[in-house]
Structure 1
Amino acid sequence: MSPTLPMPFRPTRLLVLSGALWALGGCSFAPAPAAPEPLERLPEAFAEAESPGAYTPLRWWEGYGDPTLDRLIDTVLAANLDLVEAMSRVEESRALAGIATADLLPSLNGSASAGRSSNPNNAGFGRQIAALLGGASGDSTGAMPDSAAAAPPDRFESTDYSASLALSYELDFWGRARNDREAALRDLQASESDLQSAVLGVLAETITAYFDLSDLRQRIEVSREIVDVLRERAALTQTRYDRGLVGSFELYQIRQDLRNTEAALPQIEALLHDARGRLAVLAGRYPTELAPLLAETRLPSDPFADLPSSIPADLLWQRPDVRAAGLRLESARFRVGARRAELLPRLSLTGTLGLQSAEADGLFDLSQWFSNLTTGLTAPLFQGGRLRANVRAQEARWVQQSAAYGRTVLTAVAEVEAALARHRLERERFAFLTSQLDEASASVDLQSRRYSSGVAGYADYLDALRTRLTVQSTLSAASRDYALSRLGVHRALGGSWLDGAAVPPAPPTASDGPAGGLDASDSSDAPAGALDASNHSDAPEGSFLP
């Protein structure tokens, strides 16, 4: 009876089957995108946006019109260590995204080996060969034949050379690797938004410290002038007291005002050194290195009153923290799909192609090729509940990110409204103090003329001069506060207020889900407490949850 030959292996059948499975492998278990409830009630414009204007620079700090500030910011952006740290986090996220992308691709490894083996004929591999040779003599027990001519050698030796390529690939049938990749890409984009947040924060700290420095310098100068006036006024009062023209109370009152002003000067100078130190740290320099750049600083004399007449709420999407929160919500959503896919079997392909020879010279003989192609299916049968716990944990993170996103949007709207209101009120305060300074200057001129004509005394002139200097110091602080209120609007809006064409797009909605994702109206596969915007019947009042 002829032996039955095995069915020849046809790799094409396996490839066709794998291709069919790949074509069907568009499944994704990521839940449908769902926006937090506060986004549905987002106003179209902010209530406090009311003054006309068309200020739209991308380098928005140039609106202060201060070349020294512009040079300082360029220095800070080039050397700030916080930004270096934030940029390295972006590179880390980019590398992690590359790792996640690599899981979608086949892995190819090359290997080469050379080996020589030597085995006795009565043990191990040598015994097996000896038994086979002994079978030819008719000994059914496999014992060694007695004939010396038929006796095998005492040792069996062999040499083997091989070189091969090994290919392995997991068919992402359930979308596990694709969802992990999408999540990693969203994390990368969120880290880029974090970098923009860091830039905005560094700019705000730099501008604040710069205007603090300018205000403190001006206040020190004015305070010294007030001290000079009070000393002259105290000397005049002392003379009048010696003549019996005034009582001791007036003399003591003037001296007390003088001592209070003198005592405040060291405190202001300490704040000045603190502002210099803050700027030096922001610029990545030592204070002495930054001193030449800060030799001349100033406050805006009339800080801008040109906010746009209507600021759309869509500008919130240019806030880096809002974008980052939305992207992290999307990342958590995709990771839910990836963890769900881990509950299902994995299909993998492995293949090897190489050359093998007993002689080194024959290693590159193409007739010495060998190959192997296999497919494998791995299913998680029992993991002690670990995989399902991973799914529940990731679903909980998804809900957390949705709540964080809604809170970030609400906070952003509140900050913009507060910043716009503060800018309006600081502008009014600045206008009032400017008028007060004009009136105080007019009073000084009047008292100077009255003293020159002999109608009023010199003390009246000194009192008027002191009042003007006090108002001037208050106006300096008001100018700083007004300029920083403008900064507050920039920071609340994430930079400048651009025209509509330049506004970044809003975060993804339900129509932007992954291919094969669940429909937004179907929440049957969503996690418990998932944020489906179409269903809020079970949510507690004020909750973002459905």
Structure 2
Amino acid sequence: MTNLSYLQRVAGGSLLCLLLGACATAVPTAALDAKPPPQWHSPLPHDGDPVKLSQWWRAQGDAALVQFIDAAQAVSPTIASARSRIEQARAARVAAGAALAPNLNGTASLARSSAQPPLPAGTTTQIALQSSWELDLFGANRALRDAAQARLEGAAAGWHDARTAVAAEVANQYYSARSCATLLDVAEADAASRAETFRLAQLSERAGFQAPANVALAGASAAESRARATQQDAACKTDVKALVALTGIAEPEVVSRLAQARREEAGAGALTALAARPEPVMAVASVPARLLAQRPDVFAAEREVAAASADLGSAQAQRFPRLSLSGSVGVANFRTGGEDTRLNTWSIGPVALTVPIFDGGRLAANQAAAEARYGEAVAAYHGKVRQAVREVEEALVSLQGAEARREDLRRAAEGYRASFAATESRYKNGLASLVELEDSRRIRLAAENALAGLERERRAAQVALYRALGGGWTADAAEPPRPEETPHLPGRS
């Protein structure tokens, strides 16, 4: 009697909730105030014309760089995976939305049977439509739909983030190849100069004006420079292989484009001009809080919080009663002994109320797990925001440091070149020793390499800043086209 009374109270309370709409799920509000710093503590880029971040690559005026980035984004498995995640999220969104609408199924059957041997066999044909609908009184299915929508938006942002990451990787590799070509020019010029010094030292020894020790020094210096040039050439070929793998462009074309850039920037004069050339500057928002609207990974983390919140709401709603309605309509025919009998049927119902009474703690455990995932998503979002601010600050510091040293290293390289030229002239006229010449040459080579290394460091800092700022993404950016809508891009393999 006691159990029956309990069940009656549960059923009565559930029906009261259904009739009055008094029961509702308490979906948590995402506490996403990450409290970024009010301003940057590193100097912002200046002394140039700011350009939109999304157009920064093209503003470089380097057609090869743009082609390499476009080609890499077309063949990148990372971007393909991100696109696949969008398609999966889109399908999940459609499935979650479909759960809110009635479903309709059609059935057709054919059966032949005999009830008693003396009677003729009969054939039954039947066609029917069956429908069912869960009314989703407490929003469990709506919450799942909202979670799927949030994850679809996050997946779209992830696609943009993947494109930005690939662009940054290709740019870093391209600038590495360019820097390698410059260092190779310096190494080959140095090797040629030392080889000439060795040749002159040999001639001078035969004439009796040079000691054998000086000739040995010149020979060792020439051999060392050739080895350095060979090592640098191998490093450049490795960079080419990396670009081929990233872009999918045939190696001869990659080599051709890099060789063109090498011819344009070959020699110390071109290196100095490159260091002094003004370049477009990235437009950096003065307020760190605006960064949160520019980073696709931060947006994706925020969408995951929204999805986790909706999942939690669905888990809570699963603990309340569920109401469903079903119905069917059918046309049947029974034929036996040459006669047909029509058997048309229809039904509405049952209207079924499912009340969870005892499940061994499964629904409560599901809710606890959803709460834990929600807390994890919030913590991940806050961490992503802090990491985003850190990456921008570090990129700004690196860029400012490289810019501050740029003019000093350029002047140092020019001065050491002039000093070496003077020492070489004095050596040829017998007014300087070979040791002095080699010391001057070593200092000049170090200055040339330092200037080329600085250019590589500065480019890397720019790429890091581009990556840290989100690559020009905005929250209203369009979703990527579906694979069948992607146009064929010529010149790519």
Paired residue secondary structure (1:372): strand
Give the counterpart letter for 1:45 in structure 2. Answer: Q
Give the counterpart letter for 1:200 in structure 2. Answer: T
Residue 126 of structure 2 contacts residue 332 of structure 2 at CA under 8 Å; is this kept in 1?
A: yes
Q: Which moved more, 1:204-213 or 1:45-54?
A: 45-54
1:37-56 to structure 2, matched below 5 A, reads 39-40=34-35, 42-52=36-46, 53-56=49-52
Give the counterpart letter for 2:62 in structure 1. Answer: D
User: Could you report, residue by residue, the CA deviation over 1:120-169 in whole angstroms, capped at 9, with x for unpaired residues?
Assistant: 39xxxxxxxxxxxxxxxxxxxxxxxxxxxxxxxx5485543322211101
Residue 444 of structure 1 contacts residue 461 of structure 1 at CA under 8 Å; is this kept in 2?
A: yes
Tell whether 2:453 aligns with 1:482: no
Distance apart, 1:70 and its partner CA: 1.4
Aligned to 2:84: 88
Aligned to 1:340: 316
Q: Which moved more, 1:65-74 or 1:199-208?
A: 65-74
Residue 89 of structure 2 contacts residue 151 of structure 2 at CA under 8 Å; is this kept in 1?
A: yes
Distance apart, 1:64 and its partner CA: 2.2
- Please, which of 167, 179, 204 is the counterpart of residue 168 of structure 2? 204
Aligned residues between the structures: 445
Q: Which moved more, 1:230-239 or 1:333-342?
A: 230-239
Give the counterpart letter for 1:170 in structure 2. Answer: E
How far, CA to CA, are the matches of 1:336 and 1:362 in structure 2? 60
Change (3 A) 1:293 1:229: closer
How far, CA to CA, are the matches of 1:215 and 1:392 in structure 2? 55
Residue 68 of structure 1 contacts residue 293 of structure 1 at CA under 8 Å; is this kept in 2?
A: yes
Aligned to 1:328: 304
Residue 21 of structure 1 contacts residue 173 of structure 1 at CA under 8 Å; is this kept in 2?
A: yes
**Structure whose residues are more often helix by fraction:** 2
How far, CA to CA, are the matches of 1:252 and 1:345 in structure 2? 95
Tell whether 2:33 aligns with 1:69: no
1:271-310 to structure 2, matched below 5 A, reads 271-288=235-252, 290-297=254-261, 301=275, 302=277, 304=279, 306-308=281-283
How far, CA to CA, are the matches of 1:229 and 1:119 in structure 2? 109
Residue 30 of structure 1 contacts residue 179 of structure 1 at CA under 8 Å; is this kept in 2?
A: no
Change (3 A) 1:252 1:326: farther
Change (3 A) 1:364 1:236: farther
Residue 191 of structure 2 contacts residue 229 of structure 2 at CA under 8 Å; is this kept in 1?
A: no
1:105-184 to structure 2, matched below 5 A, reads 105-120=101-116, 154-155=118-119, 158-184=122-148
- Please, which of 41, 44, 55 is the counterpart of residue 59 of structure 1? 55
Coordinate RMSD, CA, aligned: 3.5
How far, CA to CA, are the matches of 1:374 and 1:58 in structure 2? 58
Give the counterpart letter for 1:306 in structure 2. Answer: V
Distance apart, 1:408 and its partner CA: 1.0
Q: Which runs of 5+ in 1 are unaligned?
A: 1-17, 122-153, 497-501, 506-546
- Please, which of 79, 94, 106 is the counterpart of residue 75 of structure 2? 79
Q: Which runs of 5+ in 2 are unaligned?
A: 1-14, 266-273, 477-493
Tell whether 2:37 aligns with 1:34: no
Paired residue secondary structure (2:261): coil
User: TM-score, normalised on structure 2?
Assistant: 0.79
Distance apart, 1:34 and its partner CA: 1.4
Percent identity of paired positions between Structure 1 and Structure 2: 28
Paired residue secondary structure (1:161): strand
Paired residue secondary structure (2:159): helix
1:98-497 to structure 2, matched below 5 A, reads 98-120=94-116, 154-155=118-119, 158-237=122-201, 253-288=217-252, 290-297=254-261, 301=275, 302=277, 304=279, 306-308=281-283, 311-313=286-288, 314-358=290-334, 368=344, 370-444=346-420, 446-447=422-423, 456-457=431-432, 467-496=443-472
How far, CA to CA, are the matches of 2:423 and 2:382 in structure 1? 61
How far, CA to CA, are the matches of 1:105 and 1:284 in structure 2? 46
How far, CA to CA, are the matches of 1:431 and 1:305 in structure 2? 18
Paired residue secondary structure (2:131): strand
Change (3 A) 1:345 1:363: farther
Give the counterpart letter for 1:312 in structure 2. Answer: V
Paired residue secondary structure (1:296): helix
Paired residue secondary structure (1:89): helix
